[in-house]
A and B are shown apart, each in its own frame.
Chain A
Protein backbone atom coordinates (compact mmCIF):
# COMPACT_ATOMS: atom_id res chain seq x y z
CA UNK A 1 0.00 0.00 0.00
CA UNK A 2 1.32 3.40 -0.94
CA UNK A 3 1.84 5.95 1.76
CA UNK A 4 -1.34 7.99 1.98
CA UNK A 5 -1.09 11.65 1.04
CA UNK A 6 -1.04 14.23 3.80
CA UNK A 7 -4.64 15.16 3.02
CA UNK A 8 -5.76 11.63 3.77
CA UNK A 9 -3.85 11.65 7.05
CA UNK A 10 -5.48 14.90 8.11
CA UNK A 11 -8.94 13.65 7.12
CA UNK A 12 -8.43 10.40 8.99
CA UNK A 13 -7.20 12.21 12.10
CA UNK A 14 -10.23 14.47 11.97
CA UNK A 15 -12.64 11.57 11.56
CA UNK A 16 -11.04 9.67 14.39
CA UNK A 17 -11.20 12.70 16.69
CA UNK A 18 -14.88 13.05 15.84
CA UNK A 19 -15.31 9.37 16.68
CA UNK A 20 -13.60 9.89 20.05
CA UNK A 21 -15.81 12.94 20.60
CA UNK A 22 -18.88 10.85 19.95
CA UNK A 23 -17.65 8.33 22.51
CA UNK A 24 -17.45 11.03 25.19
CA UNK A 25 -20.82 12.43 24.18
CA UNK A 26 -22.58 9.08 24.32
CA UNK A 27 -21.06 7.31 27.26
CA UNK A 28 -22.67 9.56 29.87
CA UNK A 29 -26.16 9.03 28.61
CA UNK A 30 -28.34 6.02 29.45
CA UNK A 31 -28.99 3.34 28.52
CA UNK A 32 -25.86 1.81 30.09
CA UNK A 33 -24.81 -1.51 28.61
CA UNK A 34 -23.27 -2.99 31.76
CA UNK A 35 -23.52 -6.61 30.73
CA UNK A 36 -21.75 -6.10 27.44
CA UNK A 37 -19.14 -3.92 29.15
CA UNK A 38 -18.24 -6.59 31.72
CA UNK A 39 -18.25 -9.24 29.02
CA UNK A 40 -15.76 -7.16 27.04
CA UNK A 41 -13.55 -6.52 30.08
CA UNK A 42 -13.44 -10.22 30.79
CA UNK A 43 -12.72 -10.90 27.16
CA UNK A 44 -9.83 -8.41 26.99
CA UNK A 45 -8.29 -9.80 30.16
CA UNK A 46 -8.87 -13.43 29.29
CA UNK A 47 -7.49 -13.10 25.79
CA UNK A 48 -4.25 -11.41 26.75
CA UNK A 49 -3.39 -12.21 30.36
CA UNK A 50 -1.38 -15.36 29.62
CA UNK A 51 0.56 -13.80 26.79
CA UNK A 52 1.20 -10.56 28.66
CA UNK A 53 2.38 -12.39 31.78
CA UNK A 54 4.70 -14.68 29.86
CA UNK A 55 6.24 -11.83 27.89
CA UNK A 56 6.65 -9.69 31.00
CA UNK A 57 8.36 -12.54 32.83
CA UNK A 58 10.82 -13.15 30.01
CA UNK A 59 11.56 -9.45 29.54
CA UNK A 60 12.22 -9.02 33.27
CA UNK A 61 14.55 -11.99 33.29
CA UNK A 62 16.42 -11.11 30.10
CA UNK A 63 16.97 -7.46 30.91
CA UNK A 64 18.32 -8.36 34.31
CA UNK A 65 20.74 -10.91 32.90
CA UNK A 66 21.92 -8.54 30.21
CA UNK A 67 22.38 -5.55 32.49
CA UNK A 68 24.54 -7.39 34.98
CA UNK A 69 27.91 -7.37 33.10
CA UNK A 70 27.84 -3.59 32.62
CA UNK A 71 27.08 -2.95 36.26
CA UNK A 72 29.70 -5.48 37.35
CA UNK A 73 32.29 -3.57 35.30
CA UNK A 74 31.51 -0.43 37.29
CA UNK A 75 31.40 -2.38 40.51
CA UNK A 76 27.79 -1.46 40.92
CA UNK A 77 26.24 -4.90 40.94
CA UNK A 78 24.20 -4.05 43.99
CA UNK A 79 22.34 -1.55 41.86
CA UNK A 80 21.01 -4.26 39.58
CA UNK A 81 17.52 -4.70 41.08
CA UNK A 82 17.02 -0.96 41.41
CA UNK A 83 18.12 -0.02 37.92
CA UNK A 84 16.27 -2.82 36.15
CA UNK A 85 13.05 -2.30 38.08
CA UNK A 86 12.94 1.38 37.19
CA UNK A 87 13.27 0.73 33.48
CA UNK A 88 10.77 -2.12 33.64
CA UNK A 89 8.08 -0.24 35.53
CA UNK A 90 8.54 3.11 33.86
CA UNK A 91 8.84 2.15 30.26
CA UNK A 92 9.30 -1.39 29.09
CA UNK A 93 6.40 -3.21 30.67
CA UNK A 94 3.67 -0.63 29.91
CA UNK A 95 4.74 -0.38 26.29
CA UNK A 96 5.12 -4.14 25.79
CA UNK A 97 1.73 -4.78 27.39
CA UNK A 98 0.12 -2.17 25.19
CA UNK A 99 1.74 -3.55 22.05
CA UNK A 100 0.57 -7.06 22.82
CA UNK A 101 -2.95 -5.78 23.43
CA UNK A 102 -2.81 -3.78 20.21
CA UNK A 103 -1.97 -6.99 18.39
CA UNK A 104 -4.55 -9.18 20.06
CA UNK A 105 -7.38 -6.88 21.11
CA UNK A 106 -7.07 -4.16 18.50
CA UNK A 107 -7.15 -6.63 15.65
CA UNK A 108 -9.97 -8.69 17.11
CA UNK A 109 -12.14 -5.62 17.70
CA UNK A 110 -11.38 -4.37 14.20
CA UNK A 111 -12.26 -7.73 12.66
CA UNK A 112 -15.35 -8.28 14.78
CA UNK A 113 -16.93 -4.89 14.20
CA UNK A 114 -15.79 -4.98 10.58
CA UNK A 115 -17.55 -8.25 9.89
CA UNK A 116 -20.62 -7.03 11.75
CA UNK A 117 -20.62 -3.97 9.51
CA UNK A 118 -20.30 -5.77 6.21
CA UNK A 119 -22.86 -8.44 7.09
CA UNK A 120 -25.32 -5.69 8.09
CA UNK A 121 -25.44 -6.80 11.74
CA UNK A 122 -24.78 -3.23 12.84
CA UNK A 123 -27.66 -2.06 10.66
CA UNK A 124 -29.83 -4.81 12.14
CA UNK A 125 -29.06 -3.51 15.62
CA UNK A 126 -29.94 0.02 14.61
CA UNK A 127 -33.17 -1.13 12.99
CA UNK A 128 -34.19 -2.95 16.16
CA UNK A 129 -34.02 0.39 17.97
CA UNK A 130 -30.70 -0.24 19.74
CA UNK A 131 -27.90 2.28 19.49
CA UNK A 132 -25.05 0.20 18.01
CA UNK A 133 -22.48 2.85 18.89
CA UNK A 134 -23.35 2.51 22.54
CA UNK A 135 -23.68 -1.23 22.56
CA UNK A 136 -20.59 -2.06 20.51
CA UNK A 137 -18.22 0.91 20.55
CA UNK A 138 -18.67 2.55 23.94
CA UNK A 139 -18.47 -0.78 25.78
CA UNK A 140 -15.35 -1.89 23.94
CA UNK A 141 -13.53 1.42 24.28
CA UNK A 142 -14.31 1.56 27.99
CA UNK A 143 -13.23 -2.04 28.42
CA UNK A 144 -9.82 -1.54 26.81
CA UNK A 145 -9.27 1.77 28.63
CA UNK A 146 -9.98 0.25 32.04
CA UNK A 147 -8.61 -3.26 31.61
CA UNK A 148 -5.25 -2.62 30.00
CA UNK A 149 -3.90 -0.65 33.02
CA UNK A 150 -4.80 -3.61 35.23
CA UNK A 151 -3.00 -5.95 32.85
CA UNK A 152 0.01 -3.66 32.86
CA UNK A 153 0.06 -3.65 36.66
CA UNK A 154 -0.02 -7.45 36.78
CA UNK A 155 2.70 -7.48 34.14
CA UNK A 156 4.81 -5.14 36.33
CA UNK A 157 4.62 -7.66 39.16
CA UNK A 158 5.42 -10.63 36.94
CA UNK A 159 8.35 -8.90 35.26
CA UNK A 160 9.83 -7.96 38.63
CA UNK A 161 9.56 -11.57 39.66
CA UNK A 162 11.45 -12.47 36.48
CA UNK A 163 14.03 -9.91 37.40
CA UNK A 164 14.32 -11.40 40.90
CA UNK A 165 15.09 -14.80 39.38
CA UNK A 166 17.58 -13.12 37.02
CA UNK A 167 19.40 -11.54 39.96
CA UNK A 168 19.70 -14.94 41.60
CA UNK A 169 21.34 -16.67 38.65
CA UNK A 170 24.84 -15.45 39.46
CA UNK A 171 24.52 -14.22 42.98
CA UNK A 172 22.21 -14.62 45.86
CA UNK A 173 19.79 -11.82 46.49
CA UNK A 174 17.19 -12.61 49.09
CA UNK A 175 13.52 -11.96 48.37
CA UNK A 176 13.39 -9.24 51.02
CA UNK A 177 16.57 -7.55 49.86
CA UNK A 178 15.36 -7.56 46.26
CA UNK A 179 12.12 -5.82 47.14
CA UNK A 180 13.94 -3.44 49.45
CA UNK A 181 16.05 -2.34 46.49
CA UNK A 182 13.04 -2.13 44.20
CA UNK A 183 11.02 0.05 46.53
CA UNK A 184 14.03 2.21 47.21
CA UNK A 185 14.41 2.95 43.51
CA UNK A 186 10.88 2.92 42.10
CA UNK A 187 9.18 5.90 43.62
CA UNK A 188 5.59 6.90 43.31
CA UNK A 189 6.69 9.55 40.80
CA UNK A 190 8.07 6.73 38.66
CA UNK A 191 5.06 4.51 38.94
CA UNK A 192 2.24 7.04 38.63
CA UNK A 193 3.09 8.56 35.22
CA UNK A 194 3.70 5.08 33.82
CA UNK A 195 0.38 3.89 35.18
CA UNK A 196 -1.56 6.89 33.90
CA UNK A 197 0.04 6.40 30.51
CA UNK A 198 -1.49 2.92 30.21
CA UNK A 199 -4.99 4.40 30.33
CA UNK A 200 -4.15 6.38 27.23
CA UNK A 201 -2.67 3.28 25.60
CA UNK A 202 -5.89 1.40 26.35
CA UNK A 203 -8.02 4.22 25.01
CA UNK A 204 -5.98 4.41 21.81
CA UNK A 205 -6.27 0.66 21.22
CA UNK A 206 -10.04 0.71 21.72
CA UNK A 207 -10.49 3.85 19.66
CA UNK A 208 -8.50 2.66 16.66
CA UNK A 209 -9.96 -0.87 16.68
CA UNK A 210 -13.53 0.39 16.93
CA UNK A 211 -13.03 3.18 14.42
CA UNK A 212 -11.48 0.91 11.82
CA UNK A 213 -14.07 -1.81 12.37
CA UNK A 214 -17.11 0.45 12.55
CA UNK A 215 -16.39 2.11 9.22
CA UNK A 216 -15.33 -0.98 7.32
CA UNK A 217 -16.23 -0.94 3.63
CA UNK A 218 -15.56 -3.23 0.67
CA UNK A 219 -17.02 -6.43 2.03
CA UNK A 220 -15.06 -9.28 3.52
CA UNK A 221 -11.82 -8.05 1.99
CA UNK A 222 -12.27 -4.85 3.95
CA UNK A 223 -12.54 -6.78 7.23
CA UNK A 224 -8.97 -8.04 6.92
CA UNK A 225 -7.80 -4.59 6.02
CA UNK A 226 -9.53 -3.08 9.05
CA UNK A 227 -8.02 -5.60 11.44
CA UNK A 228 -4.60 -5.06 9.97
CA UNK A 229 -4.66 -1.28 9.94
CA UNK A 230 -6.06 -1.29 13.49
CA UNK A 231 -2.90 -3.04 14.70
CA UNK A 232 -0.52 -0.87 12.71
CA UNK A 233 -2.15 2.41 13.63
CA UNK A 234 -2.65 1.63 17.32
CA UNK A 235 0.97 0.47 17.67
CA UNK A 236 2.09 3.72 16.12
CA UNK A 237 -0.20 5.69 18.42
CA UNK A 238 1.23 3.89 21.44
CA UNK A 239 4.72 5.14 20.60
CA UNK A 240 3.44 8.65 19.91
CA UNK A 241 1.64 8.71 23.26
CA UNK A 242 4.81 7.38 24.91
CA UNK A 243 6.80 10.19 23.34
CA UNK A 244 4.32 12.81 24.51
CA UNK A 245 4.24 11.28 28.00
CA UNK A 246 8.00 11.46 28.38
CA UNK A 247 7.94 15.13 27.35
CA UNK A 248 5.30 15.87 29.94
CA UNK A 249 7.09 14.09 32.78
CA UNK A 250 10.27 15.85 31.71
CA UNK A 251 8.59 19.25 31.89
CA UNK A 252 7.19 18.38 35.28
CA UNK A 253 10.66 17.43 36.45
CA UNK A 254 9.74 13.82 37.14
CA UNK A 255 12.39 12.13 35.01
Chain B
Protein backbone atom coordinates (compact mmCIF):
# COMPACT_ATOMS: atom_id res chain seq x y z
CA UNK B 1 0.00 0.00 0.00
CA UNK B 2 1.43 3.40 -0.96
CA UNK B 3 1.68 5.84 1.89
CA UNK B 4 0.67 9.47 1.79
CA UNK B 5 3.30 11.89 0.50
CA UNK B 6 5.04 13.71 3.34
CA UNK B 7 5.91 16.91 1.52
CA UNK B 8 5.88 19.57 4.22
CA UNK B 9 8.78 17.99 6.04
CA UNK B 10 12.35 19.10 6.21
CA UNK B 11 14.71 18.28 3.31
CA UNK B 12 17.65 16.12 4.41
CA UNK B 13 19.24 15.60 1.02
CA UNK B 14 19.17 17.82 -2.00
CA UNK B 15 20.81 17.25 -5.36
CA UNK B 16 20.95 19.91 -8.02
CA UNK B 17 22.28 19.87 -11.57
CA UNK B 18 24.42 16.78 -11.11
CA UNK B 19 26.59 15.68 -14.03
CA UNK B 20 28.76 12.60 -14.33
CA UNK B 21 30.35 10.94 -17.32
CA UNK B 22 32.87 8.18 -17.91
CA UNK B 23 34.91 9.21 -20.95
CA UNK B 24 32.28 9.56 -23.68
CA UNK B 25 29.58 7.79 -21.67
CA UNK B 26 27.44 10.63 -20.29
CA UNK B 27 25.61 8.87 -17.50
CA UNK B 28 24.04 11.68 -15.47
CA UNK B 29 23.12 14.93 -17.22
CA UNK B 30 21.73 17.39 -14.76
CA UNK B 31 19.97 15.30 -12.14
CA UNK B 32 18.08 17.15 -9.45
CA UNK B 33 16.07 15.70 -6.57
CA UNK B 34 15.09 16.22 -2.97
CA UNK B 35 14.69 13.75 -0.14
CA UNK B 36 12.46 14.76 2.76
CA UNK B 37 12.80 13.72 6.36
CA UNK B 38 11.18 10.32 6.93
CA UNK B 39 10.26 9.49 3.35
CA UNK B 40 11.10 6.60 1.08
CA UNK B 41 12.07 7.85 -2.35
CA UNK B 42 12.29 5.21 -5.06
CA UNK B 43 14.49 5.74 -8.10
CA UNK B 44 13.37 3.84 -11.18
CA UNK B 45 15.50 3.49 -14.26
CA UNK B 46 16.65 1.01 -16.84
CA UNK B 47 19.72 -1.11 -16.24
CA UNK B 48 22.76 1.03 -16.93
CA UNK B 49 20.88 4.30 -16.55
CA UNK B 50 23.17 5.41 -13.74
CA UNK B 51 21.19 4.63 -10.58
CA UNK B 52 24.11 3.03 -8.78
CA UNK B 53 26.35 5.86 -9.95
CA UNK B 54 23.87 8.35 -8.47
CA UNK B 55 23.97 6.92 -4.97
CA UNK B 56 27.72 6.34 -5.10
CA UNK B 57 28.05 10.04 -5.81
CA UNK B 58 25.89 10.79 -2.78
CA UNK B 59 28.10 8.78 -0.44
CA UNK B 60 31.27 10.17 -1.98
CA UNK B 61 32.60 6.99 -3.59
CA UNK B 62 32.77 8.87 -6.89
CA UNK B 63 33.29 12.52 -7.69
CA UNK B 64 30.76 14.37 -9.84
CA UNK B 65 31.87 16.39 -12.85
CA UNK B 66 29.52 19.16 -11.85
CA UNK B 67 26.72 19.84 -9.43
CA UNK B 68 25.78 19.95 -5.77
CA UNK B 69 24.90 17.14 -3.40
CA UNK B 70 23.77 18.59 -0.09
CA UNK B 71 23.37 16.15 2.76
CA UNK B 72 22.33 17.68 6.09
CA UNK B 73 23.15 21.01 4.48
CA UNK B 74 26.75 20.12 3.56
CA UNK B 75 27.98 19.79 0.00
CA UNK B 76 29.52 16.31 -0.25
CA UNK B 77 32.02 16.89 -3.10
CA UNK B 78 33.65 19.75 -1.20
CA UNK B 79 34.02 18.08 2.19
CA UNK B 80 37.36 17.21 3.73
CA UNK B 81 38.00 13.54 4.44
CA UNK B 82 37.28 13.81 8.17
CA UNK B 83 34.00 15.65 7.62
CA UNK B 84 33.01 13.18 4.94
CA UNK B 85 33.70 10.25 7.27
CA UNK B 86 31.61 11.91 9.96
CA UNK B 87 28.65 12.32 7.60
CA UNK B 88 29.09 8.79 6.31
CA UNK B 89 28.39 7.41 9.77
CA UNK B 90 24.96 9.04 9.53
CA UNK B 91 24.24 7.46 6.14
CA UNK B 92 23.64 3.75 5.62
CA UNK B 93 24.52 2.20 2.28
CA UNK B 94 23.25 -1.17 1.14
CA UNK B 95 25.37 -2.42 -1.75
CA UNK B 96 23.82 -4.12 -4.74
CA UNK B 97 26.38 -6.90 -4.21
CA UNK B 98 26.00 -6.88 -0.36
CA UNK B 99 29.77 -6.40 0.04
CA UNK B 100 29.97 -8.38 3.27
CA UNK B 101 33.53 -8.84 4.54
CA UNK B 102 34.32 -12.44 3.53
CA UNK B 103 37.08 -12.96 6.03
CA UNK B 104 34.95 -12.00 9.03
CA UNK B 105 32.04 -13.75 10.73
CA UNK B 106 28.59 -12.18 10.71
CA UNK B 107 29.24 -10.85 14.18
CA UNK B 108 32.57 -9.29 13.20
CA UNK B 109 30.93 -7.77 10.14
CA UNK B 110 28.46 -6.03 12.41
CA UNK B 111 31.06 -5.08 15.00
CA UNK B 112 33.36 -3.50 12.45
CA UNK B 113 31.58 -0.13 12.14
CA UNK B 114 30.67 -0.12 15.84
CA UNK B 115 34.23 -0.54 17.06
CA UNK B 116 35.32 2.40 14.95
CA UNK B 117 32.57 4.90 15.55
CA UNK B 118 31.08 4.01 18.91
CA UNK B 119 34.27 3.57 20.88
CA UNK B 120 32.70 4.24 24.26
CA UNK B 121 30.37 1.27 24.06
CA UNK B 122 31.00 -1.59 26.49
CA UNK B 123 31.06 -5.19 25.32
CA UNK B 124 27.58 -5.70 26.76
CA UNK B 125 26.19 -2.76 24.83
CA UNK B 126 27.86 -3.94 21.62
CA UNK B 127 26.36 -7.39 22.12
CA UNK B 128 22.90 -6.05 22.72
CA UNK B 129 23.09 -3.80 19.64
CA UNK B 130 24.13 -6.77 17.54
CA UNK B 131 21.28 -8.82 18.99
CA UNK B 132 18.88 -6.00 18.20
CA UNK B 133 19.79 -5.56 14.53
CA UNK B 134 20.01 -9.30 13.96
CA UNK B 135 16.58 -9.88 15.41
CA UNK B 136 15.30 -6.95 13.34
CA UNK B 137 16.28 -8.91 10.23
CA UNK B 138 15.24 -12.22 11.79
CA UNK B 139 18.66 -13.89 11.72
CA UNK B 140 19.76 -14.01 15.36
CA UNK B 141 21.11 -17.56 14.98
CA UNK B 142 23.68 -16.72 12.27
CA UNK B 143 26.01 -14.73 14.50
CA UNK B 144 28.98 -17.06 14.24
CA UNK B 145 28.60 -18.03 10.61
CA UNK B 146 30.80 -16.88 7.77
CA UNK B 147 29.18 -14.95 4.90
CA UNK B 148 30.00 -17.82 2.53
CA UNK B 149 27.74 -20.10 4.58
CA UNK B 150 24.68 -17.89 4.08
CA UNK B 151 22.10 -18.01 1.31
CA UNK B 152 21.58 -15.03 -1.01
CA UNK B 153 18.58 -13.72 0.90
CA UNK B 154 20.34 -14.15 4.25
CA UNK B 155 23.38 -12.26 2.96
CA UNK B 156 21.12 -9.43 1.88
CA UNK B 157 19.59 -9.29 5.34
CA UNK B 158 22.94 -9.35 7.11
CA UNK B 159 24.09 -6.57 4.81
CA UNK B 160 20.95 -4.70 5.81
CA UNK B 161 21.70 -5.35 9.48
CA UNK B 162 25.21 -3.95 9.01
CA UNK B 163 23.73 -0.90 7.33
CA UNK B 164 21.40 -0.36 10.28
CA UNK B 165 23.81 -0.88 13.13
CA UNK B 166 24.96 2.72 13.38
CA UNK B 167 21.32 3.88 13.34
CA UNK B 168 21.71 5.96 10.19
CA UNK B 169 19.41 8.88 9.48
CA UNK B 170 19.52 8.33 5.73
CA UNK B 171 19.67 4.92 4.06
CA UNK B 172 20.63 4.36 0.44
CA UNK B 173 19.39 1.00 -0.83
CA UNK B 174 20.84 -0.32 -4.09
CA UNK B 175 18.40 -2.93 -5.37
CA UNK B 176 17.58 -4.53 -2.02
CA UNK B 177 15.32 -7.22 -3.47
CA UNK B 178 16.79 -8.02 -6.87
CA UNK B 179 17.49 -11.71 -7.36
CA UNK B 180 15.35 -12.86 -4.45
CA UNK B 181 12.22 -14.98 -4.60
CA UNK B 182 8.89 -13.12 -4.31
CA UNK B 183 8.30 -14.17 -0.70
CA UNK B 184 11.72 -13.12 0.57
CA UNK B 185 11.49 -10.01 -1.54
CA UNK B 186 8.22 -9.05 0.15
CA UNK B 187 9.72 -9.76 3.58
CA UNK B 188 12.64 -7.45 2.87
CA UNK B 189 10.34 -4.74 1.55
CA UNK B 190 8.24 -4.94 4.71
CA UNK B 191 11.40 -4.86 6.76
CA UNK B 192 12.42 -1.63 5.03
CA UNK B 193 9.03 -0.19 5.82
CA UNK B 194 9.35 -1.23 9.48
CA UNK B 195 12.76 0.40 9.70
CA UNK B 196 11.38 3.60 8.25
CA UNK B 197 8.62 3.68 10.87
CA UNK B 198 10.73 2.52 13.80
CA UNK B 199 13.68 4.87 13.34
CA UNK B 200 12.07 7.59 11.18
CA UNK B 201 14.80 7.23 8.55
CA UNK B 202 14.78 8.81 5.12
CA UNK B 203 15.71 6.51 2.28
CA UNK B 204 16.56 6.45 -1.38
CA UNK B 205 15.64 3.07 -2.80
CA UNK B 206 16.80 1.83 -6.17
CA UNK B 207 14.59 -0.97 -7.39
CA UNK B 208 13.56 -2.94 -10.43
CA UNK B 209 11.10 -5.11 -8.61
CA UNK B 210 7.70 -3.38 -8.78
CA UNK B 211 6.20 -5.19 -5.81
CA UNK B 212 9.00 -3.78 -3.66
CA UNK B 213 8.44 -0.33 -5.12
CA UNK B 214 4.74 -0.57 -4.41
CA UNK B 215 5.24 -1.56 -0.80
CA UNK B 216 7.99 0.89 0.08
CA UNK B 217 7.59 4.02 -2.05
CA UNK B 218 6.26 7.30 -0.77
CA UNK B 219 7.47 9.04 -3.87
CA UNK B 220 8.96 7.80 -7.13
CA UNK B 221 11.49 9.39 -9.47
CA UNK B 222 12.16 8.01 -12.92
CA UNK B 223 15.65 8.39 -14.28
CA UNK B 224 15.55 8.61 -18.07
CA UNK B 225 18.43 9.70 -20.30
CA UNK B 226 20.44 10.95 -17.35
CA UNK B 227 17.81 13.29 -15.93
CA UNK B 228 14.92 13.00 -13.51
CA UNK B 229 12.12 12.60 -15.97
CA UNK B 230 9.04 12.36 -13.78
CA UNK B 231 8.31 12.60 -10.07
CA UNK B 232 5.18 11.47 -8.28
CA UNK B 233 3.47 8.93 -6.07
CA UNK B 234 2.78 5.37 -7.15
CA UNK B 235 -0.81 6.26 -8.07
CA UNK B 236 0.19 9.28 -10.11
CA UNK B 237 2.94 7.58 -12.09
CA UNK B 238 1.28 4.20 -12.59
CA UNK B 239 -1.67 5.91 -14.29
CA UNK B 240 0.54 8.12 -16.42
CA UNK B 241 -0.03 8.05 -20.14
CA UNK B 242 3.54 9.07 -20.99
CA UNK B 243 5.20 6.04 -22.62
CA UNK B 244 8.57 6.80 -20.98
CA UNK B 245 6.95 6.53 -17.57
CA UNK B 246 4.45 3.82 -18.45
CA UNK B 247 7.21 1.38 -19.48
CA UNK B 248 8.25 0.93 -15.85
CA UNK B 249 4.79 -0.09 -14.71
CA UNK B 250 3.97 -2.67 -17.35
Chain A residues within 8 Å of B, Cβ to Cβ: 31, 112, 115-116, 119-121, 123-131
* A128-B88, A128-B112, A129-B88 known, 17 other contacts, Cβ within 8 Å: A31-B116, A115-B102, A116-B102, A119-B97, A120-B95, A121-B100, A123-B56, A123-B99, A124-B95, A124-B99, A125-B112, A126-B61, A127-B59, A127-B88, A127-B91, A128-B166, A129-B85
The answer to the question of B113 belonging to the interface, with a C-beta cut-off of 8 Å to chain A, is yes
Residues of the B chain whose Cβ atoms lie less than 8 Å from the Cβ of A128 = 88-89, 112-113, 116-117, 166
Binding site for A on B (CB under 8 A): 56, 59, 61, 81, 85-86, 88-89, 91, 93, 95, 97, 99-103, 112-113, 116-117, 166
Sorted nearest first, the 5 A-B pairs with minimum C-beta distance are: A124-B99, A120-B99, A129-B85, A129-B88, A128-B113
Chain A residue at minimum C-beta to C-beta distance from B84: A129
Q: Shortest Cβ distance from B60 into chain A, in angstroms?
A: 8
Chain A residue at smallest Cβ distance from B101: A121
Known: A129-B85, A129-B88, A129-B89. A124 touches B101 (CB 8 A): yes
Please report the number of residue pairs spanning A and B whose Cβ atoms sit closer than 8 angstroms: 53
Residues of B within 8 A of A120 (CB): 95, 97, 99
Please classify the interface of chain A as helix (H, G, I), strand (E, B), loop, or mixed, using the class held by over half of its residues. Answer: helix
Q: Are A129 and B86 in contact (CB under 8 A)?
A: yes
Bound CA–CA A116/B112 (angstroms): 15
Contact B112 A123 (CB under 8 A): no
Question: Among A31, A123, A131, which residue has its beta carbon within 8 angstroms of that of B61?
Answer: A123
Chain A residues with CB under 8 Å of B95's CB are 120, 123-124
Bound: A124/B103 CA distance, A: 14
- With both beta carbons as reference points, the residue of chain B lying nearest to A120 in the complex is identified as B99
Q: A127-B88, A128-B88, A129-B89 are in contact. Are A121 and B102 (CB under 8 A)?
A: yes
Most chain B C-beta atoms within 10 Å of own C-beta, residue among A121, A126, A127, A130: A127
Chain A residues in 8 Å Cβ range of B101: 116, 121, 124-125
CA distance A127 to B113 in the complex (A): 10
> Nearest A residue to B87 by beta-carbon distance?
A129
| Chain B residues whose C-beta falls within 8 Å of the C-beta of A31 in the assembled complex | 116
- Whether A119 touches B88, Cβ cut-off 8 Å, given contacts A127-B59, A128-B112, A130-B116, is no
Report the minimal beta-carbon distance from A128 to chain B, rounded to whole angstroms.
4
- How far is A129 from B91 in the complex, measured between Cα atoms in Å? 10
Q: Which residues of the other chain, A, contact B56 by a CB distance below 8 angstroms?
A: 123
